[in-house]
Amino acid sequence: MKNIFKISFALSLMMLTFSCDETVDQVIYNGVASENRTFLSFTASVYNLPVTIDDTGQLDITLNSSTATSSDRTFNVVLNTDPELTTADPNTYTLPATVTIPANSYQGTLTITGADNGLVDATVKQIVFSLDGLPSSVDMDSNQITVNVFEVCPVPDTFFVGQYNLVDSNGNFPSEEVTVSVGATSTDRVFTSTFLPGTGVDTVLPVNISLACNLFNLTPDIDITVSCTGGAPPYYILTSAGASNSSYSLASDTVHVVNYTEDPNASCGGTSIQNFTLTKI
Protein backbone atom coordinates (compact mmCIF):
# COMPACT_ATOMS: atom_id res chain seq x y z
CA MET A 1 0.00 0.00 0.00
CA LYS A 2 1.05 3.62 -0.42
CA ASN A 3 3.20 5.46 2.14
CA ILE A 4 0.54 7.85 3.39
CA PHE A 5 1.06 10.55 6.01
CA LYS A 6 -1.43 12.43 8.19
CA ILE A 7 -1.02 16.02 9.34
CA SER A 8 -3.76 16.75 11.90
CA PHE A 9 -2.10 15.57 15.12
CA ALA A 10 -2.12 18.69 17.30
CA LEU A 11 -5.82 19.50 16.94
CA SER A 12 -6.84 15.91 17.61
CA LEU A 13 -4.70 15.82 20.75
CA MET A 14 -6.24 19.06 22.01
CA MET A 15 -9.76 17.73 21.45
CA LEU A 16 -8.90 14.49 23.24
CA THR A 17 -7.35 16.35 26.19
CA PHE A 18 -10.42 18.52 26.77
CA SER A 19 -12.94 15.75 26.17
CA CYS A 20 -11.37 13.58 28.88
CA ASP A 21 -12.09 16.13 31.61
CA GLU A 22 -15.80 15.94 32.34
CA THR A 23 -15.54 18.84 34.80
CA VAL A 24 -14.74 21.40 32.08
CA ASP A 25 -17.79 23.41 30.99
CA GLN A 26 -18.66 23.42 27.30
CA VAL A 27 -18.39 27.22 27.32
CA ILE A 28 -15.64 28.95 29.30
CA TYR A 29 -16.56 32.39 30.63
CA ASN A 30 -14.26 35.10 31.95
CA GLY A 31 -16.85 36.57 34.30
CA VAL A 32 -17.82 39.47 32.00
CA ALA A 33 -20.61 38.28 29.72
CA SER A 34 -20.18 41.11 27.22
CA GLU A 35 -16.53 40.16 26.67
CA ASN A 36 -17.03 36.46 26.04
CA ARG A 37 -16.07 35.41 22.52
CA THR A 38 -18.53 33.41 20.44
CA PHE A 39 -17.51 30.41 18.36
CA LEU A 40 -19.74 29.42 15.45
CA SER A 41 -19.61 26.11 13.63
CA PHE A 42 -21.66 24.10 11.18
CA THR A 43 -22.19 20.42 11.96
CA ALA A 44 -20.22 19.44 8.82
CA SER A 45 -18.38 21.06 5.93
CA VAL A 46 -20.04 19.01 3.17
CA TYR A 47 -23.75 18.21 2.77
CA ASN A 48 -25.96 16.49 0.21
CA LEU A 49 -29.08 18.02 -1.33
CA PRO A 50 -30.88 15.27 -3.25
CA VAL A 51 -33.57 16.62 -5.56
CA THR A 52 -36.36 14.22 -6.47
CA ILE A 53 -36.83 13.82 -10.22
CA ASP A 54 -39.43 16.31 -11.56
CA ASP A 55 -39.88 17.59 -8.03
CA THR A 56 -37.98 19.35 -5.24
CA GLY A 57 -35.65 18.73 -2.31
CA GLN A 58 -34.81 20.47 0.96
CA LEU A 59 -31.70 20.61 3.14
CA ASP A 60 -31.65 21.97 6.70
CA ILE A 61 -28.17 22.89 7.96
CA THR A 62 -27.59 23.58 11.66
CA LEU A 63 -25.40 26.50 12.76
CA ASN A 64 -24.09 26.07 16.32
CA SER A 65 -23.02 28.83 18.69
CA SER A 66 -20.98 28.54 21.89
CA THR A 67 -23.01 31.31 23.51
CA ALA A 68 -26.63 32.48 23.73
CA THR A 69 -27.83 36.07 23.72
CA SER A 70 -31.05 37.84 24.69
CA SER A 71 -31.75 38.91 21.09
CA ASP A 72 -31.75 37.26 17.66
CA ARG A 73 -28.40 37.06 15.87
CA THR A 74 -28.46 37.20 12.07
CA PHE A 75 -25.48 36.42 9.83
CA ASN A 76 -25.05 37.00 6.10
CA VAL A 77 -24.87 33.97 3.80
CA VAL A 78 -22.67 34.60 0.76
CA LEU A 79 -22.51 32.39 -2.32
CA ASN A 80 -19.07 31.71 -3.77
CA THR A 81 -19.54 32.65 -7.42
CA ASP A 82 -16.31 31.06 -8.66
CA PRO A 83 -17.62 28.86 -11.52
CA GLU A 84 -15.06 26.18 -10.66
CA LEU A 85 -16.51 25.89 -7.14
CA THR A 86 -20.23 26.64 -7.44
CA THR A 87 -21.21 24.52 -10.42
CA ALA A 88 -24.94 24.08 -9.74
CA ASP A 89 -27.35 25.92 -12.04
CA PRO A 90 -28.84 28.89 -10.10
CA ASN A 91 -32.28 27.85 -11.40
CA THR A 92 -32.04 24.62 -9.39
CA TYR A 93 -31.64 25.96 -5.85
CA THR A 94 -32.54 28.79 -3.48
CA LEU A 95 -29.89 29.87 -0.96
CA PRO A 96 -31.13 32.22 1.77
CA ALA A 97 -29.33 35.56 2.22
CA THR A 98 -29.12 35.18 5.99
CA VAL A 99 -29.24 32.64 8.81
CA THR A 100 -30.59 33.52 12.26
CA ILE A 101 -29.89 32.09 15.70
CA PRO A 102 -32.97 32.99 17.76
CA ALA A 103 -32.73 34.77 21.11
CA ASN A 104 -31.68 32.54 24.02
CA SER A 105 -30.72 29.75 21.62
CA TYR A 106 -27.45 28.04 20.74
CA GLN A 107 -28.56 26.94 17.25
CA GLY A 108 -30.01 28.31 14.06
CA THR A 109 -31.16 26.58 10.88
CA LEU A 110 -30.24 27.46 7.32
CA THR A 111 -32.63 25.91 4.78
CA ILE A 112 -31.65 25.40 1.14
CA THR A 113 -34.30 24.26 -1.32
CA GLY A 114 -33.67 22.51 -4.62
CA ALA A 115 -35.86 22.20 -7.72
CA ASP A 116 -35.38 19.80 -10.62
CA ASN A 117 -36.74 22.12 -13.34
CA GLY A 118 -35.45 19.61 -15.87
CA LEU A 119 -31.91 20.81 -15.12
CA VAL A 120 -30.71 18.36 -12.43
CA ASP A 121 -29.33 14.91 -13.20
CA ALA A 122 -27.28 12.21 -11.45
CA THR A 123 -24.04 14.15 -11.97
CA VAL A 124 -23.10 15.94 -8.74
CA LYS A 125 -23.07 19.75 -8.95
CA GLN A 126 -22.02 21.96 -6.06
CA ILE A 127 -23.08 25.04 -4.13
CA VAL A 128 -20.31 26.67 -2.08
CA PHE A 129 -21.06 29.41 0.46
CA SER A 130 -19.77 31.02 3.64
CA LEU A 131 -20.86 33.44 6.37
CA ASP A 132 -19.74 37.03 5.90
CA GLY A 133 -19.42 40.16 8.01
CA LEU A 134 -19.02 38.38 11.35
CA PRO A 135 -18.59 40.69 14.37
CA SER A 136 -15.06 41.00 15.77
CA SER A 137 -16.10 38.96 18.82
CA VAL A 138 -17.18 35.97 16.69
CA ASP A 139 -14.87 33.23 15.40
CA MET A 140 -15.39 30.26 13.08
CA ASP A 141 -13.08 27.28 12.58
CA SER A 142 -14.30 26.41 9.07
CA ASN A 143 -16.30 28.95 7.13
CA GLN A 144 -16.74 27.34 3.71
CA ILE A 145 -19.61 24.95 3.16
CA THR A 146 -20.11 22.71 0.14
CA VAL A 147 -23.52 21.32 -0.82
CA ASN A 148 -23.72 18.52 -3.39
CA VAL A 149 -26.83 18.76 -5.60
CA PHE A 150 -28.01 15.78 -7.67
CA GLU A 151 -31.17 14.09 -8.91
CA VAL A 152 -32.69 11.10 -7.12
CA CYS A 153 -35.57 8.75 -7.79
CA PRO A 154 -37.73 7.32 -4.99
CA VAL A 155 -36.52 3.97 -3.60
CA PRO A 156 -38.10 1.63 -1.03
CA ASP A 157 -36.63 2.07 2.45
CA THR A 158 -35.91 -1.68 2.51
CA PHE A 159 -33.77 -1.58 -0.66
CA PHE A 160 -30.00 -1.98 -0.16
CA VAL A 161 -30.31 -2.34 3.62
CA GLY A 162 -28.93 -5.06 5.91
CA GLN A 163 -25.82 -7.20 6.22
CA TYR A 164 -23.37 -7.25 3.31
CA ASN A 165 -19.90 -8.60 2.60
CA LEU A 166 -17.58 -5.79 1.53
CA VAL A 167 -14.72 -6.35 -0.94
CA ASP A 168 -12.67 -3.42 -2.29
CA SER A 169 -10.79 -3.59 -5.59
CA ASN A 170 -7.64 -1.78 -4.41
CA GLY A 171 -7.33 -2.15 -0.64
CA ASN A 172 -8.87 1.16 0.36
CA PHE A 173 -11.27 -0.79 2.59
CA PRO A 174 -10.87 -4.22 4.21
CA SER A 175 -12.82 -7.32 3.23
CA GLU A 176 -15.37 -7.59 6.01
CA GLU A 177 -19.04 -7.80 6.91
CA VAL A 178 -20.78 -4.42 7.20
CA THR A 179 -24.26 -3.20 8.07
CA VAL A 180 -25.84 -0.94 5.46
CA SER A 181 -28.59 1.37 6.70
CA VAL A 182 -30.62 4.35 5.48
CA GLY A 183 -28.63 7.56 5.89
CA ALA A 184 -29.55 11.21 6.35
CA THR A 185 -32.06 11.07 3.50
CA SER A 186 -34.27 8.29 2.14
CA THR A 187 -31.92 7.83 -0.82
CA ASP A 188 -28.69 7.68 1.20
CA ARG A 189 -27.15 4.37 2.27
CA VAL A 190 -24.34 4.32 4.81
CA PHE A 191 -22.02 1.76 6.39
CA THR A 192 -18.98 2.03 8.67
CA SER A 193 -15.59 0.65 7.65
CA THR A 194 -11.85 1.27 8.02
CA PHE A 195 -10.31 3.53 5.39
CA LEU A 196 -6.73 2.66 4.38
CA PRO A 197 -6.30 -0.44 6.59
CA GLY A 198 -2.70 -1.28 7.49
CA THR A 199 -1.21 2.07 6.49
CA GLY A 200 -0.68 3.58 9.92
CA VAL A 201 -3.35 6.20 9.30
CA ASP A 202 -6.25 3.72 9.45
CA THR A 203 -9.47 5.59 10.14
CA VAL A 204 -12.88 4.16 10.98
CA LEU A 205 -15.52 6.30 9.29
CA PRO A 206 -18.96 6.24 7.67
CA VAL A 207 -19.07 5.60 3.93
CA ASN A 208 -22.08 7.30 2.32
CA ILE A 209 -23.59 6.11 -0.96
CA SER A 210 -26.25 8.27 -2.57
CA LEU A 211 -28.78 6.58 -4.82
CA ALA A 212 -29.19 8.88 -7.79
CA CYS A 213 -31.63 7.77 -10.48
CA ASN A 214 -30.33 4.22 -11.04
CA LEU A 215 -26.74 5.32 -10.35
CA PHE A 216 -24.48 5.14 -7.27
CA ASN A 217 -22.74 8.32 -6.11
CA LEU A 218 -20.00 8.09 -3.50
CA THR A 219 -20.64 11.39 -1.76
CA PRO A 220 -19.39 13.16 0.25
CA ASP A 221 -15.73 12.46 -0.54
CA ILE A 222 -13.68 10.16 1.67
CA ASP A 223 -11.07 12.67 2.83
CA ILE A 224 -9.05 12.42 6.06
CA THR A 225 -6.32 14.93 5.02
CA VAL A 226 -3.61 12.39 4.22
CA SER A 227 -1.14 12.31 1.35
CA CYS A 228 1.99 10.60 0.03
CA THR A 229 3.89 13.88 0.14
CA GLY A 230 4.81 14.08 3.82
CA GLY A 231 1.29 15.04 4.87
CA ALA A 232 1.11 18.09 2.59
CA PRO A 233 -1.48 18.73 -0.15
CA PRO A 234 -2.63 17.43 -2.54
CA TYR A 235 -4.53 14.90 -0.45
CA TYR A 236 -5.34 11.27 -1.14
CA ILE A 237 -9.13 11.04 -1.33
CA LEU A 238 -11.91 8.96 -2.85
CA THR A 239 -14.68 10.74 -4.70
CA SER A 240 -17.60 10.08 -7.04
CA ALA A 241 -16.81 8.30 -10.31
CA GLY A 242 -18.84 10.88 -12.25
CA ALA A 243 -19.49 9.63 -15.77
CA SER A 244 -18.15 6.22 -14.68
CA ASN A 245 -20.64 5.82 -11.83
CA SER A 246 -22.00 2.28 -11.63
CA SER A 247 -25.73 1.53 -11.78
CA TYR A 248 -28.29 -0.30 -9.67
CA SER A 249 -31.68 -1.84 -10.35
CA LEU A 250 -34.59 -2.03 -7.91
CA ALA A 251 -35.23 -5.49 -9.34
CA SER A 252 -32.16 -6.91 -7.55
CA ASP A 253 -30.75 -6.34 -4.08
CA THR A 254 -28.14 -9.11 -4.00
CA VAL A 255 -24.90 -7.62 -5.36
CA HIS A 256 -24.02 -3.93 -5.67
CA VAL A 257 -20.82 -2.66 -7.29
CA VAL A 258 -20.03 0.97 -6.39
CA ASN A 259 -17.48 2.71 -8.62
CA TYR A 260 -15.44 5.62 -7.29
CA THR A 261 -12.51 7.80 -8.38
CA GLU A 262 -9.33 7.01 -6.47
CA ASP A 263 -6.85 9.83 -5.81
CA PRO A 264 -8.28 12.48 -8.20
CA ASN A 265 -5.60 14.92 -6.97
CA ALA A 266 -2.80 12.49 -7.95
CA SER A 267 -1.31 12.70 -4.46
CA CYS A 268 0.03 9.15 -4.58
CA GLY A 269 0.43 8.57 -8.31
CA GLY A 270 -2.14 8.22 -11.04
CA THR A 271 -5.89 8.68 -10.79
CA SER A 272 -8.03 5.62 -11.51
CA ILE A 273 -11.57 4.28 -11.29
CA GLN A 274 -11.88 1.65 -8.56
CA ASN A 275 -14.86 -0.01 -6.88
CA PHE A 276 -16.09 -1.91 -3.90
CA THR A 277 -18.63 -4.74 -4.05
CA LEU A 278 -21.33 -5.32 -1.45
CA THR A 279 -22.88 -8.79 -1.51
CA LYS A 280 -25.95 -9.41 0.62
CA ILE A 281 -25.62 -12.09 3.28
Alpha-helical segments (H) within the chain: 9-19
Q: Is residue 4 part of a domain?
A: no
Whether 205 and 134 map to the same domain: the answer is: no
Distance of CA 176 to the CA centre of its chain: 24
Per the DSSP assignment, residues forming a β-bridge with 238 are 222, 262
Same-domain check for residues 92 and 132:
yes
Alpha-carbon distance values, 99 to 59, 65, 108, 113 (Å): 14, 12, 7, 14
Domain that holds residue 101: 40-152
The last residue of one of the domains, among 117, 152, 187, is 152
Of 127, 152, 177, the residue that ends a domain is: 152
Instruction: Please count the structural domains in the chain.
Output: 2
CA distance 107 to 64: 5
Ramachandran class of 200: left when φ > 0, alpha when ψ lies in -120 to 50, beta otherwise: left
Amino acid occupying residue 134? L
Could you report the per-residue pLDDT of 149-183, keeping only the tens digit for each?
A: 999 999 999 999 999 999 999 999 999 999 999 99
* Residue 19 confidence (pLDDT): 38
At residue 106, the pLDDT reads 96
Q: Are residues 273 and 167 in the same domain?
A: yes
Band (23; pLDDT cuts 50, 70, 90): very low
Higher pLDDT pick, 10 / 200: 200
Q: What is residue 237's three-state secondary structure?
A: coil
- Whole-angstrom Cα distance, residue 72 to residue 250? 47
CATH of the domain at 80: 2.60.40.1740
Is the pLDDT higher at 247 or at 35? 247
Q: Which of 83, 50, 45, 12 is nearest to 187 (CA)?
A: 50
Query: Which CATH number characterizes residue 176's domain?
Result: 2.40.128
Domain termination residue (choose one: 120, 152, 184): 152
| pTM assigned to the model | 0.76
